[in-house]
Amino acid sequence: MDDTFILLHSHFGPANIVQKKNVHLLRIEKDRVMFMETDPAVDLLDVRKYPLLQFSQAHYTKNVIIISRREFDGWMDVLNIDNRKVVWMFHTTRCGSTLWSQIFNSLANWSIISESQALHNSLIFGQPEYDIEAFSKTKTFEDLVVANIKWHTLMVPEDNSIFWKMAILDYYMIPVIAKMFPNHKMLLAYRNVLPSAKSWHSITSGMNASYIALKHIAEPAIIAKHPRHVHEKLMFLWYTSGYNIDVCHAALMAARPEPIGFEWFILLWASMMTVYKDFIRHGSAKFLKVKYEDLQADTRKVIKRVFEYLNIPVENIKPALEATKTDSQDGLFLDWKHRMSNPSWVRTEESVNRCNTMLQYFDFGDLDSSVTL
């Protein structure tokens, strides 16, 4: 797909250009690796200043830098990541994961990587049929995961621990991480469906599902290149997290949700929660589970439990608590406050019934249920 970035400038760059804080991995291919270059003033690792900015998004890209895969692999070969302390946070949407990024950013000698989408973008743009589930079981996928992890680790000082907040589709990395990095620890953040959906709806009200999906996963050139039916497939893939496709399709056909944020989010939440429930049940990965409602009820107790699990000294709890007082929505590139003022979801019997129909396909009770993984 050589014309993927037709709307962006491209140039080749040596290591001393690529290895800067404002240059981030975008895509790994067979013979080349692409990076996005942003304005040097926009430090995506500075969670205090930009808590919700995400890596590898076209919104910030000035140039695409291209290097050979051979040169890239040469950098990776000399990097030892086995002894690095890395904490992975997998999560549903609107569950306090950004708040956890701020908590860990309050700790000395910790670096935060927030929603690196290099894997996400490579899967979306590299698979003609968008069969992510099948691709995630291949050796090529494992190589891609390891290269992605090694590159981002290379950005972090050697004496720093890493808190890595994963992107939505990156839960496909869980089995690879669990197998190849057994000493690394994982957190799982989640939240009950109704407050999650209400929060989601408040930032997407009035935006149709196709627009939201394309805004997240399709670069401008991709939108310009592909026909309408591919747009719809991308939308469905993103809203179902690319997992449990058959169940998601059946739930959609039965419920016929309105094509706006709230009811579609029920499907996204249920699909993601099912993924995590499956990993927990089958024992392929070990998580410390952190529920947003518990964090709200007793913030100190939950932070203490997480820190004990990660062997973080207790004296770090006080600055962590201070970090929770910072507005986690500040610094977003979109007009977040305006969107949060959108009209709330209107609870009607018809809408509740459609939501409950979808939830029941995934065995999650109803819209008002309290869920414990």
| Identity of the residue numbered 230 | V
**Helix (H) and strand (E) counts for the chain?**
18, 9
- For strands 86-91 and 63-68, give the pairing: unpaired
* 368, pLDDT greater than 90: yes
What SS3 string covers 91-160? ECCCCCHHHHHHHHHCCCCEEEEECCCHHHHHHHHHCCCCCHHHHCCCHHHHHHHHHHHHHHHHCCCCCC
pLDDT tens-digit profile of 297-334?
Answer: 999 999 999 999 999 999 999 999 998 987 665 544 44
pLDDT tens-digit profile of 29-67?
Answer: 778 887 777 776 666 566 556 555 554 455 556 777 788
In contact, 285 and 234? CB cutoff 8 Å: no
Instruction: Specify which residues 88 forms β-bridges with.
Output: 164, 186
- CATH number for the segment(s) 9-361: 3.40.50
* Domain boundary assignment for the chain: 9-361
pLDDT tens-digit profile of 202-238?
Answer: 766 544 443 444 444 444 444 444 444 444 454 555 5
Identify the band that residue 179 occupies on the pLDDT scale cut at 50, 70 and 90.
confident
State the Cα–Cα distance between residues 372 and 341, nearest whole angstrom. 30
State the Cα–Cα distance between residues 145 and 177, nearest whole angstrom. 8
Q: How far is CA 331 from CA 13, 49, 76, 243, in A?
A: 30, 6, 32, 31
